[in-house]
Amino acid sequence: MRRFPWDLLLTLVIGVGIGLAYAWVISPWRVFDSDPVALRADFKDQFRSAIAASYQATGNLPRSQARLSLLGDSDSGAALNSEAQRMIASGEFTQADQLAALALALENENVPGVLPTHTSESSGTVEPETVATLPAPPEELPFELTETPEITEAPIDATQVVETQPVVTNPTLRPTWTPIPTLGVPFSLIAQDTVCDTTFPEGLLQVIVFNSARRQVTGAKIIVSWENGEDQFFTGLKPELGNGYADFVMSPNITYTLRLAAGSDIAEGLIAPTCHTPSGETFLGGIKLTFQQP
Amino acid sequence: MKPSRWLFIFIALVLGVGMGLAYGWFVDPVEFFDLTPDTLRADYKADYVLMVAEAYRAEQDPGLAARRLAILGSRSPSAIASEGLTFARENGFADSDIVLIQELVTAMQAWSGISP
């Protein structure tokens, strides 16, 4: 009876081990053609910033969504808001605004009631014109071949009809539905409360900003003014208190006016109230303002 | 041990190394993460250049555009933008997008590296 060739088997196993060690440790396959999802976190941040800047320039939300999906974030809006906070903290307000605007557009797109504007088939007088379309997209990019949605600064009239052109290859104009981000809807002051709490700093003016989906808005610029001065501050600098939270310390006996830079009701006549402790001592209280996008 | 036995052992060793390399390089290669953008696939790089070009059209800030392009490698911003333009032309990007990238290339070629 022939004995089993253990020596050959052992040699084969040793060879496999040597091969794996070389392939995994000594000389791994050279990295190229990687996907954005594999990027280091700080490069992903820069990628997101570029997407947000591009969105601000073009208003093309579907394209921005497709690009964001490449980064593999479980919640793109949260990732944008988080990065906006970091930008604010590092003083890069322009990029923070861009990131927050894109996050807001994404959130608004998911809210029922954001107006899908009907685009009807054009007729008669409208001359078909050549429309530049997106390139043949990379295979893994789920681009939608649509024209850039318009950004409107005001609530959209329900009867408004926006004419769009289809892709050039089809001369017949067909109705499509184009979501339009509603970035410019002003915020309403929905609550103004006096806060008498000795644990808070005296004269604390708290502001909380919500969007129409009742989610807190990061990076909202707030302008507070008084008789001889003005100051600006932003939501999101204290994320432990909420992404849409911001505060400002009022001086005694000065009347302030506050509004959101993006457009809002104006809170006037804000003056730090005088409060009393249970033992009868007086201290300077605060005010809490809540804004929400309708 | 017969010489032919040594031959079989050598063949087994070579075969094993080959199997190990094939498995380690092709079947289950090392998964990389925390990569730098210069490793991105060419179409992703070109799309990134297009993003920068779209933003540049609105912002008109060549310094900012150059900083954005710089993450794609150590070459000059104009070379990176030119590579994106070449890819865009060869892969059927829309004319409007090619024009945007062309503007970016021109701006990067003219940019002195000193922001105003």
Q: Across-strand partners of A161?
A: none
pLDDT in tens, A97-156: 899 899 988 887 765 444 433 333 333 333 333 333 444 444 444 444 444 444 444 444
pLDDT in tens, B11-45: 999 999 999 999 998 888 887 778 889 889 999 99
Q: Are strands A256-260 and A221-226 parallel, antiparallel or unpaired?
A: antiparallel
Contact of A148 with A133, CB cutoff 8 Å: no
DSSP A53-90: HHHHHH--HHHHHHHHHTTT-S-HHHHHHHHHHHHHHT
B61 touches A: beta carbon within 8 Å: no
pLDDT in tens, B54-105: 999 999 999 999 999 999 988 999 999 999 999 999 999 999 999 999 999 9
pTM given for the model: 0.55
Distance from CA of A140 to the nearest CA of B (A): 10
pLDDT in tens, A33-75: 788 998 999 999 999 999 999 999 999 999 999 999 999 999 8
**Could A19 and B93 be called an inter-chain contact, meaning their C-beta atoms sit closer than 8 Å?**
no
Which position has the token pair 């920068």?
B52
**Could B51 and A53 be called an inter-chain contact, meaning their C-beta atoms sit closer than 8 Å?**
yes
Q: Which of A4, A18, A24 to mutate to test the interface with B (most CBs of B within 10 A)?
A: A24
Domain boundaries, chain A: 36-116+131-183, 188-292
Number of CB atoms found within 10 A of residue A232's CB:
12
Q: Which of A11, A13, A25, A167 to mutate to test the interface with B (most CBs of B within 10 A)?
A: A11
Distance from CA of A108 to the nearest CA of B (A): 22
Q: Which residues of A touch B94 (CB under 8 A)?
A: 132-135
A207 touches B: beta carbon within 8 Å: no
- Supply the ipTM of this predicted assembly: 0.80
Identify which has the larger pLDDT, B68 or A244: B68
Choose among A28, A46, A67: nearest Cβ to B29.
A28
Domain boundaries, chain B: 1-31, 37-110
Give the phi and the psi of residue A134 in degrees, each rounded to 5.
Answer: -65, 160
Q: Tell me which fold the domain A188-292 belongs to.
A: Immunoglobulin-like (2.60.40)
